Amino acid sequence: MQEPFQIPGYTFVSKIAEGGMATVWKARQEKLDRVVAVKVLMKDMDASPDVFQRFIYEARAAASLIHPNVVQVIDAGEQDHFMYYIMEYVPGMTAGDAIENGRPMKEKQLLRIAREVAEALDYAWQEHHVVHCDIKPDNLLLHRNGRTKVADLGLAQVTGIAAVEIEEGMTLGTPNYFPPEQALVEDNLDCRADMYALGATLYHLGTGQVPFGEDDPETVAAHQVHSQLPNPRELNPALSWGLTCLIERLMAKKANDRYQDWADVLEDIHAVEEGRLIPYPLNESVKSTVMHLEPPIREARVARPAGAIKVPVHRQKAALKISVQDAEAMHARRQVHAKPANIWPRVLALGFVVVLMYTFTVLRMQGAL
């Protein structure tokens, strides 16, 4: 094939993906004889200078993150007609491709993706104060070895550092997944924005339905601020109660009502993976984009003791993290060790009947004699 671009030391193989502003190509790095991915942005495209600045910003943001669940940038450069950066090649598909036919993912795979993405975003936030700002199924690459890789940091923001300027009032990101504060173009985004997007991503992967469907971007953004979605368990009853609680809290309308750090998110993901229940995420005064669904009676008995809503979250976790199986085992132990009932009244009654029958029999025999 005739190479579409010329980058010294690289041979282009085939196109992987194409977006609104850039294309991604599979290529071979000649010196190291390895396959890489090359993201290319043409200079002659009809775009403002900010687009090119953001492309450079994306490359630098990605290059700063060294984590097994983040696509690693190897190099970047510029030619006469295009700009590019080179990154590791991830063989496999995106999470969006995995459910293209509308069939939801199995919960085990869904939770693994959630855990690995949360670990990557926790690292990005803790070590570099990076907020991704565009977490969605199409930006999660599923390596053939099972590992999830977070890609496309084109909209990432670094807290405390001036990012690339955008037009005033312009909303960046994907409306079906971004949080209300991003829809309202607030400038104080933090890691909780990515938490909401992760919740919306899990909603899509777990139900097969895109949050707020195919409406135009402005309408979808308004829905993120004001509307609600059916509970994922109503759309896919196979989802566990713990996972629906996790999604409900991740997608709280207000950032202060979500988890306050990724460590707490990861703790609850581990709990759900182990089959344990997690605390009710929200009380009646808090609104989530996901409609609340009362749990089955037996789960509610374990998951929501009286007055639990008024207990701080960290106290709830200590009190409520007990599985239904644990509760049933505890009940069985109590039955084994329960005190025997008082049987003396029954013994006395039986003795009285025996004596009476014996006396009657003796009297009849004496009468016969």
Provide the CB-side half-sphere exposure for 50 (13 A, CA).
10
Residues 266/118, Cβ–Cβ less than 8 Å: yes
Amino acid at 192: R
Identify which of 283, 282, 271, 275 has the alpha carbon closest to the alpha carbon of residue 249: 282
Place of tokens 């009285």: 352
Beta partners for residue 11, in sequence order: 28
Please state, as a whole number, how many other Cβ atoms lie within 10 Å of the Cβ of residue 359.
10
Residues 271/242, Cβ–Cβ less than 8 Å: yes
Residues 203/234, Cβ–Cβ less than 8 Å: no
Residues 311/361, Cβ–Cβ less than 8 Å: no
134 is catalytic: yes
- The number of residues in the chain equals 369
Amino acid at 143: H
Please state, as a whole number, how many other Cβ atoms lie within 10 Å of the Cβ of residue 246.
24
Long-range contacts at 119-122 (CB < 8 A, ≥ 24 apart): 119/67, 119/69, 119/262, 119/266, 120/65, 120/67, 120/69, 120/70, 120/148, 120/150, 121/150, 121/191, 121/194, 121/198, 121/262, 122/191, 122/261, 122/262, 122/263, 122/265, 122/266
Torsional class of 129: left (φ above 0), alpha (ψ -120 to 50), beta (otherwise): left
The catalytically annotated residue of 134, 194, 257, 268 is 134
Residues 135/155, Cβ–Cβ less than 8 Å: no
Amino acid at 84: Y
The residues annotated as belonging to the active site are: 134
